Amino acid sequence: MPNAEAAARARDGFRMDPAALLAALRDWEARGGEVAAVYHSHLDAPPELSGRDRAELTLDGRPTFPGAALLVVSLRAGRAAEAALHGWDGAAFVARPIALTRGDS
């Protein structure tokens, strides 16, 4: 889903436009879909969930997208440098670093 505020928050967080998100989710759910993953990148910052990320991904202390994988990729010098997959364990987000591989193409 395109994010008009991405440039302003790209260093360590993101924000989804609430109206656009709600419209997209309603359409997706009407077709039987569910959110399996949320992806965003951090520019020159580690792939941990920032305070800003956590605020966008929770409501009243509960995950906005329960069961969805949260992939954060750290971009350095325009390339993916690190990545982490985050999930909700019932009380908090937990992270698992993942390996990045590069093709020779």
Domain ranges of the chain: 6-98
For residue 83, give the nearest of 37, 35, 36, 42 by alpha carbon.
42
Which of 77, 56, 63 shows the shortest CA–CA distance to 1?
A: 56
| Tens of pLDDT, residues 50-80 | 988 898 889 898 998 888 999 999 999 989 9
Q: What is the pTM of this model?
A: 0.76
Pick from 37, 38, 48, 36: nearest CA to 82? 48
pLDDT of residue 90: 92
13 pLDDT more than 80: no
